[in-house]
Amino acid sequence: MAKEDLAALDAHWRAANYLSVGQIYLMGNPLLTEPLRPEHIKPRLLGHWGTSPGLNLVHTHLNRVIKERDLDALCVWGPGHGGPAVLANAWLEGSYTQRYPAVTRDAEGMARLFRQFSFPGGVPSHVAPETPGSIHEGGELGYSLAHAYGAAFDNPGLVVACVIGDGEAETGPLAGSWHSNKFLDPVHDGAVLPILHLNGYKIANPTLLARLPDAELDALLKGYGHEPLYVAGDDPLTVHHTMAEAMDQALDRIAALQRAARSGGAHTRHRWPVIVLRTPKGWTGPRTVDGVPVENTWRSHQVPLSEVRENPGHLRQLEQWLRSYRPDELFDAEGGPTEDVLTCVPEGERRLGATPRANGGLLSRPLPLPPLERFAVTVDEPGATSHEPTRVAGELLAQVMADTARRRDFRVVGPDETESNRLGALYGATGKAWQERTLDTDEHLARDGRVMEVLSEHLCQGWLEGYTLTGRHGLFSCYEAFVHIVDSMVNQHIKWLKTSRSLPWRAPVPSLNYLLTSHVWRQDHNGFSHQDPGFVDHVLNKSPDVVRVYLPPDANTLLSVTEHVLDSRDYVNVVVAGKQPCFDWLSLDAARAHCARGAGVWEWAGTDDGTRDPDVVLACAGDVPTQEVLAAAGLLRELLPELAVRVVNVVDIARLMPREEHPHGMPDSEFDALFTRDRPVIFAYHGYPWLIHRLAYRRTGHANLHVRGYKEAGTTTTPFDMVVRNDLDRYRLVMDVIDRVPGLAVRATAVRQAMTDARTRHHAWIREHGTDLPEVADWTWPHTSGG
């Protein structure tokens, strides 16, 4: 590279470093037009300097190649706690001012940029939704590479750079993410360029990867399937030179690999490049502070000089540090960046802070959703037939997959469970993404497949987050218990969506949809370790603007809910539905109406004539509880026919919440009309019973609410034994009714005894035969055609 080109890169880098330091420290005198005084310093010094110079270097060099090659590029900043760096670059390139016009590209805007950083009412210290050009929060480490791949899938023209800190590289999810390259199709997908930034330290320790022997690191990256390019040093101009070379080599290689694959067809998996960038932590910051080494140690992680307001020595050192970037060369008289600084910066939407790829809602098209009539099961009478709900929904998903064959903006991810979850119809429309070698016995593997299976919930979640945040659609089908593996990831995604919703410039993105199946009640093969319905509780702690939870009780309601969530934006939708055969309760029309209401009376199931409040309400949410409630209703109809029983089914669990606490919450009047104000309500719920109390505790009739659900009484056993162990079975529900309805006829005592006897019979039978009682296994809803 020519010397003047290097100098221009260096100017840009210095400017970004200057602005990064300024954000951490200054609330006045942004251009150092006068000597620094304590009152120019923020009262609370917050932020992360250590990673910032490295991020600035990467951004500077990405600018150059984007501009030179007219690249469509996106960058995922793994060490996004280095927020000042990404903000500095966005301000330099003008994308920041574009989103936030008050933060102008002059001295006044610079002052605003500095002051607002980590300041109450200002902007967060990390890369966050507020940061232009980002799809990745820098707070929780581990997911950058998975996000980058998610963004690259089905974006063949896109290059996604991904900075991975050596701290983040120690996390499990990141370590597993390297293998994402086995799923990237060079023909239909874009490229991911990982940049492993070894600055040597995390918060208080050296990092594992930075201290590996060179040969071991090289073997590791090659073992991950990458071709490493090394950039190392602490002399800026030398590093600029090597970095520019490495970037060019990496992008040349990417272009060559893509050309080869796209002309001749891909036949082997590529060894994609990875850049290893080894520069000092806190590079160009104070070498030592109070005699202790700071640059190139963990001590530069956050704020290297911590007593700037009180300690004149620190203040002086800060001023020297800031002036070492020679701000007078970098900013003009008005405080805007000089031409030299901006030499490397690309134009318009090519700027990393302005790319619509990072504002995926702008690029997103609604999914083509076929009429549900084509997939619905026929229901002439409730409970006369049964289907596997997820298999029925699988046909809908397969059609959506087929209808997006050209658009390629829909993917289904899962940890090796798509077939097991009865969604195999998808393979009629696409294959499973796979770039490794194949054998004759393999089925459905395809380089261009849009079903993604890997035994890592973290990868499934990370990929889908990256995919939806860049404007495409998808669904994550997961064993209910193991979705807890990504609890923390979904927390962050919900937080991201919550904040994005408050930013007018962020267009709504497709929702993140979960289909949780293989649920707690049907772990015949796997038992206790696979039994956990708590994800619903977990997400309901988070922002009600974002979180939706549905428990469709049968095939047609699952169809209706699936259609709804695929068509939605900016939500995290959690759908819990079984994969085992389940009675069909509602016709498609009835299912649609019921799902639209979210909760309602099933008149046909009760003995309530509607003229007055019933004697008791049997409520249910979830497929297995619904079956048990209906069986209990059937028993009551037969054994205590004079009892007025109302059956209520809840699909949309947030309807139980007060309206002030969730937009789907029903008003008290509606709640009272549905559940009554004073009658006993026996509620059979799919998960932990106290969730229902936590949602409904403000309701008038709450004291009459008696909830049955899963209470960690789990093991490998039969379906009915599971409900018995957790007191959710039909017999127990009938006993609950008898125990709670006052003034029942004497006969009720005999009925109660019959229920106890039935449970005893169950225990004896199962011990002997290992199967469920025939009367349970063969049970069907009494056909009502005769009246």
Residues 67-106 that bind its own copies (CB under 8 A): 81
The single residue among 245, 416, 589, 638 that binds its own copies, judged by CB under 8 A, is: 416
Report the nearest approach of its own copies to the CB of residue 529 (Å): 3
Q: Considering beta carbons, is residue 174 or 344 the nearer one to its own copies?
A: 174
Closest residue by Cα to residue 59 from 169, 165, 161, 141: 161
Q: Considering beta carbons, is residue 200 or 361 the nearer one to its own copies?
A: 200
The rounded distance, in Å, linking the Cα atoms of 398 and 391 is 10
Closest residue by Cα to residue 481 from 534, 417, 544, 427: 534
For 347, other C-beta atoms within 10 Å of its C-beta total: 12
The rounded distance, in Å, linking the Cα atoms of 512 and 478 is 13
Q: Give the SS3 label for residue 618.
A: strand
Q: Considering beta carbons, is residue 189 or 409 the nearer one to its own copies?
A: 189
The single residue among 53, 82, 84, 173 that binds its own copies, judged by CB under 8 A, is: 173
Could you tell me which stretch among 115-123, 359-367, 590-598, 727-735 binds its own copies (CB under 8 A)? 115-123
Two structure tokens written together for 292: 């202790």
Query: Which segments of 89-245 are extended strands (E)?
Result: 158-165, 191-197, 226-232
Could you tell me which stretch among 69-77, 102-110, 469-477, 489-497 binds its own copies (CB under 8 A)? 489-497
User: Interface residues for its own copies in 437-456 (CB under 8 A)?
Assistant: 437-439, 441-442, 445, 453-456
| Residue 715 makes contact with its own copies by CB under 8 A | yes
Report the nearest approach of its own copies to the CB of residue 253 (Å): 18
User: Interface residues for its own copies in 247-306 (CB under 8 A)?
Assistant: 293, 296-297, 302
Could you tell me which stretch among 248-256, 567-575, 744-752, 763-771 binds its own copies (CB under 8 A)? 763-771
| Residue 15 makes contact with its own copies by CB under 8 A | no
User: Interface residues for its own copies in 598-617 (CB under 8 A)?
Assistant: none
Residues 6+ apart with CB under 8 A from 287: 293, 294, 295
Could you tell me which stretch among 9-17, 279-287, 399-407, 690-698 binds its own copies (CB under 8 A)? 690-698
The rounded distance, in Å, linking the Cα atoms of 615 and 141 is 54
For strands 582-583 and 386-387, give the pairing: antiparallel
Could you tell me which stretch among 113-121, 274-282, 470-478, 507-515 binds its own copies (CB under 8 A)? 113-121
Report the nearest approach of its own copies to the CB of residue 747 (Å): 30
Tell me, letter by letter, the H, E, C secondary structure of 741-764.
CCCCCCHHHHHHHHHHHHHHHHHH
Q: Considering beta carbons, is residue 63 or 461 the nearer one to its own copies?
A: 461
| Residue 326 makes contact with its own copies by CB under 8 A | no
| Residue 771 makes contact with its own copies by CB under 8 A | yes
User: Interface residues for its own copies in 191-220 (CB under 8 A)?
Assistant: 202-208, 211-212, 216-220
Q: Considering beta carbons, is residue 67 or 659 the nearer one to its own copies?
A: 659
One-letter amino acid of 538: H
The rounded distance, in Å, linking the Cα atoms of 64 and 44 is 35
Contact 351, 357 (CB under 8 A): no
The 118-157 site mask, x for binding its own copies (CB under 8 A), equals xxxxxxxxx-x--------xxxxxx---------------
Contact 517, 472 (CB under 8 A): no
Q: Considering beta carbons, is residue 419 or 623 the nearer one to its own copies?
A: 419
Angle separating helix axes 730-740 and 623-639, nearest 10 degrees:
60
Report the nearest approach of its own copies to the CB of residue 565 (Å): 22
The rounded distance, in Å, linking the Cα atoms of 120 and 457 is 36
| Residue 27 makes contact with its own copies by CB under 8 A | yes
DSSP states of 63-97: HHHHHHHT-EEEEEETTTT-HHHHHHHHHHHTHHH
Report the nearest approach of its own copies to the CB of residue 709 (Å): 11
CA angle 782, 784, 787 (to 5 degrees): 125
The single residue among 35, 770, 775, 783 that binds its own copies, judged by CB under 8 A, is: 770
| Residue 178 makes contact with its own copies by CB under 8 A | yes
CA angle 312, 316, 322 (to 5 degrees): 145
